[in-house]
Amino acid sequence: MNHRYCIMKNVYFLFFCLALQLCFFVQSGYSQPSDKVLKIAIIPHRSNLGNEHAYSKLFRELTNETGIKFKWLGSKTYDDVIKKIQTGHADIGYVGPFSYVVAQDNFGVKILCRTFSSGKEEFYHSMIITRKDSGIQSLQDLKGKRFSFTDPQSTSGYLFPLAQLMASGVSEKDFSEVKFLKRHANSLIAIYKGHVDAGATSVTAIDKVAIKMDELEVLWKSEPIYRGLWVARKDLDVELFNKLQHAMLKMSYSPKSEAIFNELTTKGFVTGKDSDYDNVREVVKSMQRK
Protein backbone atom coordinates (compact mmCIF):
# COMPACT_ATOMS: atom_id res chain seq x y z
CA MET A 1 0.00 0.00 0.00
CA ASN A 2 2.76 2.39 0.95
CA HIS A 3 4.68 1.38 -2.18
CA ARG A 4 1.66 2.13 -4.43
CA TYR A 5 1.11 5.46 -2.63
CA CYS A 6 4.74 6.47 -3.27
CA ILE A 7 4.43 5.62 -6.96
CA MET A 8 1.25 7.68 -7.36
CA LYS A 9 2.80 10.52 -5.43
CA ASN A 10 5.81 10.56 -7.77
CA VAL A 11 3.55 10.45 -10.85
CA TYR A 12 1.52 13.44 -9.61
CA PHE A 13 4.72 15.31 -8.81
CA LEU A 14 6.09 14.60 -12.30
CA PHE A 15 2.87 15.90 -13.93
CA PHE A 16 3.01 18.97 -11.71
CA CYS A 17 6.60 19.71 -12.82
CA LEU A 18 5.71 19.21 -16.49
CA ALA A 19 2.75 21.57 -16.12
CA LEU A 20 4.97 24.20 -14.54
CA GLN A 21 7.51 23.87 -17.36
CA LEU A 22 4.74 24.15 -19.97
CA CYS A 23 3.43 27.34 -18.36
CA PHE A 24 6.92 28.76 -18.23
CA PHE A 25 7.57 28.10 -21.90
CA VAL A 26 4.20 29.50 -22.96
CA GLN A 27 4.67 32.66 -20.92
CA SER A 28 8.27 33.17 -21.97
CA GLY A 29 7.26 32.58 -25.58
CA TYR A 30 4.89 35.55 -25.44
CA SER A 31 7.50 37.83 -23.91
CA GLN A 32 10.22 37.00 -26.38
CA PRO A 33 10.85 39.59 -29.08
CA SER A 34 9.84 38.75 -32.63
CA ASP A 35 12.52 37.55 -34.99
CA LYS A 36 10.99 39.77 -37.69
CA VAL A 37 13.30 42.52 -38.97
CA LEU A 38 11.93 45.55 -40.81
CA LYS A 39 14.31 47.57 -42.99
CA ILE A 40 14.16 51.36 -42.70
CA ALA A 41 14.96 54.05 -45.26
CA ILE A 42 14.84 57.77 -44.38
CA ILE A 43 15.20 60.84 -46.60
CA PRO A 44 18.69 62.31 -46.05
CA HIS A 45 17.76 65.40 -44.06
CA ARG A 46 20.86 64.50 -42.02
CA SER A 47 23.82 62.29 -42.83
CA ASN A 48 23.06 58.57 -42.64
CA LEU A 49 24.98 58.36 -39.36
CA GLY A 50 23.19 61.47 -38.08
CA ASN A 51 19.78 59.98 -38.90
CA GLU A 52 20.62 56.67 -37.25
CA HIS A 53 21.77 58.44 -34.10
CA ALA A 54 18.83 60.88 -33.94
CA TYR A 55 16.22 58.15 -34.45
CA SER A 56 17.89 55.53 -32.22
CA LYS A 57 15.71 56.20 -29.14
CA LEU A 58 12.55 56.08 -31.21
CA PHE A 59 13.32 52.70 -32.75
CA ARG A 60 14.61 51.28 -29.48
CA GLU A 61 11.23 52.11 -27.96
CA LEU A 62 9.40 50.65 -30.97
CA THR A 63 11.32 47.40 -30.50
CA ASN A 64 10.39 47.37 -26.80
CA GLU A 65 6.73 47.96 -27.68
CA THR A 66 6.38 45.55 -30.58
CA GLY A 67 9.21 43.03 -30.39
CA ILE A 68 10.05 43.98 -33.99
CA LYS A 69 13.70 44.61 -34.83
CA PHE A 70 14.82 47.26 -37.29
CA LYS A 71 17.70 47.54 -39.73
CA TRP A 72 18.95 50.85 -41.11
CA LEU A 73 19.54 51.37 -44.82
CA GLY A 74 21.59 54.36 -45.93
CA SER A 75 20.11 56.66 -48.58
CA LYS A 76 21.86 59.47 -50.43
CA THR A 77 18.83 61.02 -52.14
CA TYR A 78 15.06 61.29 -51.70
CA ASP A 79 14.60 59.24 -54.86
CA ASP A 80 16.80 56.51 -53.40
CA VAL A 81 14.32 56.09 -50.52
CA ILE A 82 11.39 55.84 -52.95
CA LYS A 83 13.16 53.18 -55.03
CA LYS A 84 14.07 51.13 -51.95
CA ILE A 85 10.41 50.99 -50.91
CA GLN A 86 9.23 50.30 -54.46
CA THR A 87 11.58 47.35 -54.90
CA GLY A 88 10.98 45.94 -51.42
CA HIS A 89 14.53 46.59 -50.28
CA ALA A 90 12.99 48.76 -47.54
CA ASP A 91 9.85 47.86 -45.60
CA ILE A 92 9.11 51.27 -44.12
CA GLY A 93 10.41 54.77 -44.71
CA TYR A 94 10.21 58.40 -43.72
CA VAL A 95 9.45 60.54 -46.77
CA GLY A 96 8.51 64.10 -47.62
CA PRO A 97 5.10 64.99 -49.08
CA PHE A 98 6.36 65.17 -52.69
CA SER A 99 8.14 61.83 -52.36
CA TYR A 100 4.95 60.34 -50.90
CA VAL A 101 2.80 61.56 -53.81
CA VAL A 102 5.31 60.16 -56.33
CA ALA A 103 5.38 56.81 -54.52
CA GLN A 104 1.62 56.56 -53.98
CA ASP A 105 0.65 57.55 -57.49
CA ASN A 106 3.25 55.33 -59.19
CA PHE A 107 3.32 52.08 -57.22
CA GLY A 108 1.31 52.43 -54.02
CA VAL A 109 2.30 52.64 -50.35
CA LYS A 110 0.44 52.54 -47.03
CA ILE A 111 0.50 55.54 -44.67
CA LEU A 112 1.61 54.56 -41.18
CA CYS A 113 1.29 58.07 -39.77
CA ARG A 114 2.01 61.74 -40.28
CA THR A 115 4.43 63.64 -38.06
CA PHE A 116 3.96 66.71 -35.92
CA SER A 117 6.54 69.12 -34.48
CA SER A 118 6.67 71.20 -31.28
CA GLY A 119 3.28 72.37 -30.11
CA LYS A 120 1.74 69.48 -32.08
CA GLU A 121 2.10 71.55 -35.26
CA GLU A 122 1.18 69.35 -38.22
CA PHE A 123 2.19 71.80 -40.96
CA TYR A 124 5.35 73.44 -42.25
CA HIS A 125 6.27 75.91 -44.99
CA SER A 126 8.64 76.23 -47.93
CA MET A 127 10.60 79.47 -48.20
CA ILE A 128 12.76 81.36 -50.68
CA ILE A 129 15.35 83.38 -48.78
CA THR A 130 18.13 85.86 -49.48
CA ARG A 131 20.42 88.00 -47.38
CA LYS A 132 19.09 91.44 -46.46
CA ASP A 133 22.25 93.00 -47.88
CA SER A 134 21.93 91.17 -51.24
CA GLY A 135 19.95 93.96 -52.90
CA ILE A 136 17.32 91.43 -54.00
CA GLN A 137 13.80 92.70 -53.35
CA SER A 138 11.58 90.29 -55.29
CA LEU A 139 11.55 86.92 -57.03
CA GLN A 140 11.95 88.66 -60.38
CA ASP A 141 15.25 90.09 -59.13
CA LEU A 142 16.62 86.55 -58.95
CA LYS A 143 17.27 86.37 -62.70
CA GLY A 144 21.00 86.12 -63.32
CA LYS A 145 21.66 85.18 -59.67
CA ARG A 146 23.09 82.07 -58.00
CA PHE A 147 20.36 79.90 -56.48
CA SER A 148 20.25 76.80 -54.26
CA PHE A 149 17.67 74.03 -54.08
CA THR A 150 17.89 70.96 -51.85
CA ASP A 151 16.83 67.72 -53.62
CA PRO A 152 14.79 67.37 -56.86
CA GLN A 153 12.27 65.23 -54.92
CA SER A 154 11.95 67.67 -52.02
CA THR A 155 8.58 69.34 -51.47
CA SER A 156 9.78 72.52 -49.78
CA GLY A 157 13.31 72.50 -51.18
CA TYR A 158 12.35 72.18 -54.84
CA LEU A 159 8.74 71.51 -55.92
CA PHE A 160 6.88 74.36 -54.21
CA PRO A 161 9.56 77.03 -54.65
CA LEU A 162 10.11 76.13 -58.31
CA ALA A 163 6.36 76.31 -58.95
CA GLN A 164 6.28 79.77 -57.36
CA LEU A 165 9.32 80.93 -59.30
CA MET A 166 7.77 79.80 -62.59
CA ALA A 167 4.50 81.50 -61.67
CA SER A 168 6.56 84.67 -61.17
CA GLY A 169 8.21 84.37 -64.56
CA VAL A 170 11.52 82.88 -63.37
CA SER A 171 12.80 79.48 -64.56
CA GLU A 172 15.87 77.47 -63.61
CA LYS A 173 17.67 78.54 -66.78
CA ASP A 174 17.35 82.18 -65.69
CA PHE A 175 19.84 81.65 -62.86
CA SER A 176 23.56 82.15 -63.43
CA GLU A 177 24.19 79.04 -61.32
CA VAL A 178 21.96 76.40 -59.70
CA LYS A 179 23.15 74.20 -56.82
CA PHE A 180 21.40 71.16 -55.37
CA LEU A 181 22.65 70.91 -51.79
CA LYS A 182 20.60 67.87 -50.63
CA ARG A 183 19.66 69.10 -47.16
CA HIS A 184 17.61 72.10 -46.09
CA ALA A 185 20.24 73.12 -43.54
CA ASN A 186 22.89 73.13 -46.30
CA SER A 187 20.81 75.48 -48.44
CA LEU A 188 20.14 77.81 -45.52
CA ILE A 189 23.82 78.00 -44.60
CA ALA A 190 24.83 78.60 -48.23
CA ILE A 191 22.44 81.57 -48.37
CA TYR A 192 23.61 82.92 -45.03
CA LYS A 193 27.30 82.70 -45.93
CA GLY A 194 26.78 84.21 -49.39
CA HIS A 195 27.77 81.10 -51.34
CA VAL A 196 24.55 81.67 -53.28
CA ASP A 197 22.46 84.81 -53.70
CA ALA A 198 19.20 83.16 -52.69
CA GLY A 199 17.75 79.71 -52.22
CA ALA A 200 14.92 77.43 -51.23
CA THR A 201 14.61 75.73 -47.87
CA SER A 202 12.12 74.53 -45.28
CA VAL A 203 11.13 76.54 -42.23
CA THR A 204 12.15 73.45 -40.22
CA ALA A 205 15.81 74.08 -41.12
CA ILE A 206 15.94 77.19 -38.93
CA ASP A 207 16.12 75.10 -35.75
CA LYS A 208 18.98 72.99 -37.11
CA VAL A 209 21.61 75.68 -37.73
CA ALA A 210 23.23 78.42 -35.67
CA ILE A 211 22.70 81.56 -37.76
CA LYS A 212 21.23 85.02 -37.23
CA MET A 213 17.87 84.96 -38.99
CA ASP A 214 17.56 88.75 -38.71
CA GLU A 215 20.27 88.98 -41.39
CA LEU A 216 18.05 87.12 -43.85
CA GLU A 217 15.01 88.19 -45.84
CA VAL A 218 12.11 85.86 -46.69
CA LEU A 219 11.10 86.66 -50.28
CA TRP A 220 8.30 84.11 -50.35
CA LYS A 221 6.63 81.63 -47.99
CA SER A 222 4.34 78.82 -49.11
CA GLU A 223 0.89 77.85 -47.99
CA PRO A 224 0.80 75.31 -45.11
CA ILE A 225 1.95 71.82 -46.11
CA TYR A 226 1.35 68.74 -43.98
CA ARG A 227 4.66 67.57 -42.56
CA GLY A 228 6.47 64.44 -43.73
CA LEU A 229 5.12 60.98 -43.09
CA TRP A 230 6.05 57.38 -42.45
CA VAL A 231 4.93 54.86 -45.03
CA ALA A 232 5.12 51.11 -45.51
CA ARG A 233 5.37 49.11 -48.70
CA LYS A 234 1.87 48.20 -49.84
CA ASP A 235 2.32 44.45 -49.31
CA LEU A 236 3.64 44.66 -45.74
CA ASP A 237 1.93 42.09 -43.52
CA VAL A 238 -1.27 43.62 -42.07
CA GLU A 239 -0.56 42.39 -38.54
CA LEU A 240 2.92 43.92 -38.58
CA PHE A 241 1.57 47.17 -40.04
CA ASN A 242 -1.14 47.48 -37.38
CA LYS A 243 1.23 46.63 -34.55
CA LEU A 244 3.76 49.19 -35.70
CA GLN A 245 1.17 51.92 -36.33
CA HIS A 246 -0.43 51.39 -32.92
CA ALA A 247 2.95 51.62 -31.17
CA MET A 248 3.94 54.82 -33.04
CA LEU A 249 0.69 56.55 -32.12
CA LYS A 250 0.86 55.31 -28.53
CA MET A 251 4.41 56.57 -27.89
CA SER A 252 3.47 60.04 -29.14
CA TYR A 253 1.45 60.57 -25.97
CA SER A 254 3.62 58.51 -23.65
CA PRO A 255 5.18 60.09 -20.52
CA LYS A 256 8.51 59.14 -22.16
CA SER A 257 7.76 61.00 -25.42
CA GLU A 258 9.95 63.99 -24.60
CA ALA A 259 12.98 61.73 -24.17
CA ILE A 260 12.10 59.56 -27.19
CA PHE A 261 11.85 62.53 -29.59
CA ASN A 262 14.51 64.65 -27.92
CA GLU A 263 16.89 64.85 -30.90
CA LEU A 264 14.21 65.10 -33.58
CA THR A 265 12.14 67.97 -34.97
CA THR A 266 9.41 65.33 -35.08
CA LYS A 267 7.72 65.23 -31.69
CA GLY A 268 5.05 62.62 -32.37
CA PHE A 269 2.66 60.98 -34.82
CA VAL A 270 -0.95 61.27 -35.92
CA THR A 271 -3.00 59.21 -38.35
CA GLY A 272 -2.97 60.48 -41.92
CA LYS A 273 -4.85 59.94 -45.17
CA ASP A 274 -3.96 60.30 -48.83
CA SER A 275 -6.10 63.42 -49.35
CA ASP A 276 -3.96 65.30 -46.80
CA TYR A 277 -1.44 65.75 -49.62
CA ASP A 278 -3.82 66.79 -52.40
CA ASN A 279 -2.32 70.31 -52.46
CA VAL A 280 1.07 68.75 -53.23
CA ARG A 281 -0.50 66.62 -55.93
CA GLU A 282 -2.07 69.72 -57.47
CA VAL A 283 1.30 71.49 -57.63
CA VAL A 284 2.82 68.43 -59.32
CA LYS A 285 0.02 68.43 -61.91
CA SER A 286 0.37 72.15 -62.54
CA MET A 287 4.11 71.72 -63.15
CA GLN A 288 3.44 68.89 -65.60
CA ARG A 289 1.10 71.12 -67.61
CA LYS A 290 3.83 73.74 -68.14
- Would you state the pLDDT for residue 34? 52
- The reported pTM is 0.83
pLDDT tens per residue across span 200-214: 999 999 988 889 999
pLDDT of residue 46: 81
pLDDT of residue 24: 38
The per-residue pLDDT for 287 is 85
Q: List domains and CATH numbers for the chain.
A: 37-122+227-277 (3.40.190.10), 123-225 (3.40.190.10)
Helix/strand/coil (H/E/C) assignment for every residue in the chain: CHHHHHHHHHHHHHHHHHHHHHHHHHHHHHHCCCCCEEEEEECCCCCHHHHHHHCHHHHHHHHHHHCCEEEEECCCCHHHHHHHHHHCCCCEEEECHHHHHHHHHHCCEEEEEEEECHHHCCEECEEEEEEHHHCCCCHHHHCCCEEEECCCCCHHHHHHHHHHHHHCCCCHHHCCEEEECCCHHHHHHHHHCCCCCEEEEEHHHHHHCCCCHHHEEEEEECCCEECCEEEEECCCCHHHHHHHHHHHHHHCCCCCHHHHCCCCCCCEEECCCHHHHHHHHHHHHHHHHC
CA angle 213, 217, 221 (to 5 degrees): 100
pLDDT of residue 44: 86
The low-confidence residues of the chain, meaning pLDDT below 50, are 1-33
Residues forming beta bridges with residue 200, ordered by sequence position: 128
In angstroms, rounded to a whole number, what is the distance separating the alpha carbons of residues 26 and 1? 38
pLDDT, position 71: 95
Per-residue confidence (pLDDT) for residue 248, from 0 to 100: 97
